[in-house]
Every structure is written in structure tokens, then in C-alpha cells.
């Protein structure tokens, strides 16, 4: 362990889990680095993604390939506290590769202290020195140094098993309670996990380092690979009214793992709607990878609305609808009719005529009756879904309802008798039988064609 850290700040911690990534352990140890590392002579410490992780996606890997190599990762969050204030110590290990000099070894737990009376030492707990310390390669094992039977010794001494050292506790056989009884007023500097110089060839994983009520979970952030519209899609709202649900977008990484704290921007890319007074809104994902938009309000124009949610290079799309406001007072619908026919037709031939019935609103037109009549010498041979009169001179249509802003089109086939010549006039008309029409001037139309 490094030399004592001067003027370490006294820190307090909140109960819970602290996620520690590779980027968090790159700083050397000082009073301003909550988590830090110290490596020596080729020893390495790295937070790695590995399928063998017992929790999350990865763990801390310590590697001491040669003799005298050292790899240590510590927290400074308890610096300045008395040793007697440390109540719980725990961690888990996975021995990936046994050491070449001692196959019984696994990473140790270290507490750097200023002992009673001054100076510096590191209190070391090692599984190998406990009755329960058998190492199983390739399996996660859980250790509890604060409640284990024995396992403690102090650096800077020449420890002899079951003999009291200069710090007042028996080396290797002392429990943590014995160490605290001897050094309860010692000042803590660092608490961490260590793989030291006596472990050449050892490669091991460490996770869930627990000190009191704080657990350090070694896991790198999940890298985003996708975003999806997971709630709020397909809604409708009346003009000027808020949509019932906010839009939710979920950002995920490999294996569908959620990506927390990812920036997400919602943007209205088509139609009439806004987040307050803006077409965009930005937020971040929660622990479940979900980002929730502010309230989206329909604009003044009815029709489709599209919204995109973007995080990095990934985009999800929502399709929404703004509906017209309900009609106040008696329902009214402006039904209009138009007819098209070719300018000239051939004697003895056929042609098609199209009748278009449109509703300009504001209400839906219900039970809309319309029809087409042709002059003598012309005959309707196909009614396009309507009812054709016995003499073929007329066809009638009925539409149950035509929404505001919508149209219905009918196409009929007309035969021209031989000997018919000159201009022929076709007439069409339509009306809603159930809803008042404020404008009857556009309810009829004619089209002229010349036979020859």
C-alpha cells in the first residue's frame, strides 16, 4: 500500500450500492478520489465485462503475473473514521488462474490505518489464514472479514501465528473484533482489495466489496445499441388538449440490458403538437433505461403527428393523431358533389364517369344519399356499388357516414347507343339525410360529353 495520505478528508457515505467502472479506478489515490488504484511491477487492476460475472455484466480483475507485482483498488470514502466505526466488511472473489507459488491464495482485504500512537500500517485479512479459507478455482466465493474466525495480520511486522504483534492483536488468528479491541481508535485511511507481491501468476476477480452499509459493484456502463418507443405510441387527442400518456423511450445495450443516464431528445417532426411551447424536449433515462417525455399537447390542426425519440445515433418513431374538436350545437355538415366524364365519347362504345361526394364538416355527414342520371341514348351498365334503375338512366348510392374532411368516390360505366350524336349532359346530386347542410349550392353538379 502507498504511504499515508496527508490531511485526508473525513467523509460520510450513504447506504446503498455504488457502481464502479473502469474509468472510476484510473486515478491515483488522494483525498479527492472516491475510488482509486495502486499498481506496481506489472500488476494490473481493471473493471472487465465477463460472462462469468455473478452480478451485473462484469467485475474487478486483479492480475499479478510476476513476483513482487501488486494490484490494489481502494475506497477513500471512510477516510478519517476510527477503526471502531467500521462494522461490516465483505467481498467476493473468483480465482480465474491459480498462483504459481501458492495455490491457496485469493485477493485480500486491506485497511490502511494510522495506528494508536502514530505511524502507519496496513491491516490485512486473507482467506488462507482462516479455518474456512479453502480456495475453489473457477467459482465465486463470499468472504466476511468482519465476522470471520481469524485471518488478520499487519504490514511492517514479522508476524508469528497466534503471537501478539506490536499493534496489540495476535497475527493470523485474531478476529476483526480482536483487532478493533486493540486499535479501535486508529484512524482509517483506505479500505480496499489487494493482490500482493507473494502471488505471482494469480489472476482473480473481485466484486461486491462491502463496507458498513455501502456496497461497491464493479461494472462498466452498458453501451447503448438500440432505442424503442415503449409507451405512448398510437394515441389521439383533440385539438388543444394534452395526450393522455407521456411518451416513453427505452434505451438498451447488448442482451437487452437497460442503459441508465442516457440522454434522449423527443422532437415533433410532423403535424401539430408541442411539449409546452417547444417542439423538442430533452431528458435522461432512469435505472430501467426508460426516458419519459413531458406532456405532449395537440395543436390547432387536426391530422397525423409524428414524434421521434433520439439517443446518440439511435431513433424511435411515434405516430399520433390530433382529432377535431367536437361540434357544439346542432350538427352541420357541408356535403358537395362533383362529376367527371370524358370530353368525347364514341357511338356504340362505353365510358366511365366518376361521382365524388365530399364532406367539408364540421360534423360527420351520416346517411349520405347521392346519385347520377344520364340522358336518353346513354345507359348505365355498371353502377359502381350503387342501385341502377331498370331503364339504366339513373344510379343511386348511400354512404352510412362521411367524416369531416373525407370523400367517397363512385365510378360507373355508361354505354352510348348507336346513332346518338352531339352534346350529352350527365347530372349528379347528394345530401345527408340525417345532418343539416348549411350550403346547398354545391350539392349538385353536371358534366358534358360529346358523342360522335
pLDDT tens digit string along 148-168?
Answer: 999 999 999 989 999 999 999
Question: Could you give the 3-state DSSP secondary structure of residue 73?
Answer: strand
Q: What is the CB neighbour count within 10 angstroms for residue 16?
A: 8
Percent of the chain at pLDDT exceeding 90:
85
Which is more confident, 51 or 179?
Answer: 179
| Across 335-359, average pLDDT | 97
Confidence of residue 15 (pLDDT cuts 50, 70, 90): low
pLDDT tens digit string along 30-88?
Answer: 766 789 999 999 999 999 999 899 888 899 999 999 999 999 999 999 999 999 999 99
Using CA atoms, how far apart are residues 70 and 358, in angstroms rounded to an integer? 83
Confidence of residue 11 (pLDDT cuts 50, 70, 90): very low
Going by C-alpha positions, the residue among 44, 147, 133 that lies closest to residue 86 is: 147
Going by C-alpha positions, the residue among 80, 88, 77 that lies closest to residue 180 is: 88
Poorest-pLDDT segment among 87-91, 116-120, 322-326: 322-326
Using CA atoms, how far apart are residues 140 and 94, in angstroms rounded to an integer? 5
C-alpha cell at 51: 460472462
pLDDT of residue 31: 61
pLDDT of residue 101: 86
The gap between the terminal CA atoms of the chain, to the nearest Å, is 109
Residue 10 pLDDT greater than 70, yes or no: no
How many residues are there in the chain?
A: 452
Confidence of residue 221 (pLDDT cuts 50, 70, 90): confident
pLDDT of residue 27: 80
Confidence of residue 327 (pLDDT cuts 50, 70, 90): low
Using CA atoms, how far apart are residues 43 and 101, in angstroms rounded to an integer? 16
Instruction: Name the average pLDDT for the chain.
Output: 92
**Burial of 421: CB neighbours in 10 Å, binned 0-12, 13-18, 19+:** exposed
Poorest-pLDDT segment among 319-328, 409-418, 420-429: 319-328
pLDDT of residue 413: 97
Q: Which domains does the chain have, with CATH numbers?
A: 16-218 (2.60.120), 224-323 (2.60.40.10), 333-451 (2.60.40.1530)
Residue 420 pLDDT greater than 60, yes or no: yes
Task: Indicate yes or no: pTM above 0.75.
Answer: no
pLDDT of residue 12: 32
| Across 94-101, average pLDDT | 93
pLDDT of residue 4: 31
Using CA atoms, how far apart are residues 172 and 133, in angstroms rounded to an integer? 12
Amino acid at each position: 500500500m502507498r504511504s499515508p495520505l496527508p490531511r485526508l478528508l473525513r467523509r460520510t457515505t450513504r447506504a446503498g450500492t455504488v457502481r464502479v467502472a473502469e474509468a472510476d479506478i484510473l486515478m491515483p489515490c488522494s483525498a479527492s478520489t472516491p475510488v482509486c488504484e495502486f499498481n506496481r511491477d506489472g500488476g494490473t487492476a481493471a473493471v472487465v465485462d465477463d460472462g462469468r460475472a455473478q452480478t451485473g455484466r462484469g467485475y474487478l480483475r486483479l492480475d499479478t503475473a510476476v513476483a513482487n507485482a501488486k494490484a490494489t483498488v481502494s475506497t477513500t470514502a471512510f477516510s478519517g473514521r476510527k477503526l471502531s466505526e467500521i462494522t461490516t466488511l465483505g467481498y467476493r472473489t473468483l480465482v480465474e488462474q491459480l498462483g504459481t507459488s501458492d495455490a491457496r491464495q485469493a485477493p485480500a482485504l486491506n485497511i490502511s490505518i494510522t495506528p494508536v500512537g502514530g505511524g502507519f500500517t496496513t491491516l490485512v485479512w486473507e482467506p488462507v489464514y482462516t479455518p474456512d479459507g479453502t480456495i475453489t478455482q473457477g467459482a465465486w466465493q463470499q468472504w466476511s472479514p468482519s465476522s470471520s474466525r481469524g485471518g488478520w495480520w499487519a504490514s511492517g511486522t514479522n508476524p508469528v501465528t497466534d503471537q501478539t504483534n506490536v499493534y496489540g492483536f495476535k497475527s493470523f488468528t485474531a478476529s476483526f473484533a480482536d483487532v478493533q479491541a486493540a486499535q479501535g481508535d486508529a484512524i482509517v485511511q483506505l479500505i480496499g482489495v489487494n493482490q500482493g507481491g507473494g502471488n505471482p501468476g494469480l489472476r482473480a476477480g473481485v466484486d461486491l466489496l462491502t463496507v458498513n452499509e455501502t456496497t461497491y459493484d464493479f461494472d462498466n456502463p452498458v453501451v447503448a445499441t438500440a432505442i424503442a418507443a415503449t409507451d405512448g405510441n398510437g394515441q389521439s387527442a383533440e385539438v388543444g388538449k394534452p395526450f393522455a400518456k407521456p411518451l416513453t423511450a427505452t434505451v438498451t445495450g447488448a442482451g437487452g440490458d437497460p442503459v441508465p443516464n442516457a440522454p434522449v431528445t423527443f422532437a415533433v417532426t410532423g403535424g401539430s403538437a408541442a411539449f409546452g411551447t417547444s417542439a423538442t424536449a430533452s431528458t435522461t433515462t432512469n435505472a430501467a433505461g426508460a426516458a419519459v417525455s413531458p406532456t405532449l399537447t395537440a395543436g390547432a390542426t387536426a391530422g397525423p403527428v409524428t414524434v421521434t425519440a433520439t439517443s446518440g445515433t439511435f431513433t424511435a418513431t411515434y405516430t399520433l393523431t390530433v382529432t377535431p374538436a367536437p361540434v357544439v350545437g346542432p350538427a352541420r355538415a357541408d356535403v358537395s358533389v362533383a362529376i367527371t366524364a370524358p370530353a368525347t365519347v364514341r357511338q356504340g362504345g362505353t365510358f366511365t364517369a366518376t361521382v365524388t361526394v365530399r364532406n367539408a364538416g364540421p360534423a360527420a355527414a351520416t346517411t349520405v344519399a347521392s346519385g347520377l342520371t344520364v340522358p336518353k341514348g346513354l345507359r348505365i351498365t355498371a353502377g359502381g356499388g350503387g342501385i341502377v334503375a331498370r331503364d339504366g338512366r339513373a344510379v343511386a348510392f348511400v354512404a352510412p357516414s362521411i367524416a369531416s374532411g373525407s370523400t367517397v368516390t363512385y365510378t360507373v360505366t355508361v354505354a352510348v347507343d348507336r346513332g346518338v350524336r352531339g352534346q350529352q349532359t350527365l347530372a349528379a346530386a347528394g345530401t345527408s339525410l340525417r345532418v343539416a347542410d348549411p350550403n346547398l349550392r354545391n350539392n349538385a353538379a353536371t358534366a358534358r360529353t360529346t358523342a360522335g
